[in-house]
Structure 1
Amino acid sequence: MSRAFIPRAIPVAIPDGGLDISIDENRKPASSLPHHVHFDACPIWLQLAIRHLSDAQVAQVSRVAAWKGADEDAKAAALEWEFEASLQAIMASALALDAFCAAVQTKVQLPQSLSDEWRENRTPHDVQVSEVLRRAFSLAAKDASSLRQNLGEILRFRDLAIDPSGKGDARILHPELRVGVEWRFAYFRCENALRIVRATLRLIWELVASGKPKEVDVQKYIDALRPKIELL
């Protein structure tokens, strides 16, 4: 029988009726035990968000130092470094959120009429995600509103990273350097990456630690996810 390597962090599920014990041709017990391995991308993306944020913080220090000098090439390189690290931290945060919602959505029964309405009205992604989480965790109106606001900001940055066409080529004021720069250097910088990563971690953690799911499967999922996030 072939063996499978399964990392300790990945949960293994045995399907109903999966264990089969029989007698082989030599009248010895033989068994088969198929298993399903569940890979949860959410904690992986959170780890990557934190890692890239750390890189962005180092890049920010380098950028501050470079802009105290007169080397224009060094200034440009420092801006690019901070931009790239911040962009990756923000994108990883958004993907962690998408992965979390995708995992939850498979365990929540949404009315078909709601899915049809979203499709017909082309409901924005952040509105759909917030509604899925509201239903899954029985959120009060105030909590749902706060969740929707935070989601909207995180996914707004994600959308800018994917399709920045709406920003144009105009230079804007860099909040720290106080000079005109390409818009991407002002948006995708360490301070914004820190804000987005923190908001993502807080949003997911509050649902995992304090959420009150209606569905048993959602509760099982967050119970399995909780210790992984606690280690971050």
Structure 2
Amino acid sequence: MIKKVVLLILATLFIVTGVYADDDSRWRWIDSNDYESEYLDMDSIRWDGKNIIYWVKAVNINNNVFIDKYVVDYEQKNAVSTYRVRYMQGKGREEFSDNSRFFVAPDSKLEKIINMACDKLSIPHILGNTPHSWKWIKSTDTTNYYLCDDIFNSSYDGTEYEVYIKYDKPGFYKETTRVFVNFKNYTIEDIWGRPKEITPDSPEEALYNAVKELKQDYEKSR
């Protein structure tokens, strides 16, 4: 009798463990903070030869659930949130279209999520498989500036370079953005294509010179 009870308990544990294992294998944990946790749906990851498609779920401390669909342009390094399903306490289910666009920055949470999807699809990571390298280029009273020197794209004629720069304001925030260094016009353009003059002894000048060295090294290695 005791042996049967023990076997019954073990069987129950295996069933429960199996249920949780199936659930965990679908919703893979991404990140958590004091307010919410995020998970990637491993079952819905798709690749159409150009785009990666996946869904992310966020659950906050109020048990509200947000499930978002993302379409990632693998070549252009952009992601678009196209659809959202929302489960709010006391309101039930809501669905609506979205069109929020994001660029994929090195060492960002978005890059981490996309790389998880790349691993599932057995394709290279979107910004490369090696750890990123950040080169210090200048510091001011408030901000430290760094260039990601392992990722860059050149225009067909070599007059413009697309690079990533990180602004580190100690005690406040860190931000990474994508800029375009134009060697023909001696300007730096932001992600919206707005040119900025390069003034003497400025962070822009330090960035220009650092990218110029990167350009020269790249051309020598070709």
Mark yes or no: TM-score above 0.5. Answer: no
Q: TM-score, normalised by structure 1?
A: 0.24
Q: TM-score, normalised by structure 2?
A: 0.25
- Which structure is higher in helix share? 1
- Which structure is higher in strand share? 2
Structure scoring higher RCO (CA < 8 A, sep ≥ 6) equals 1
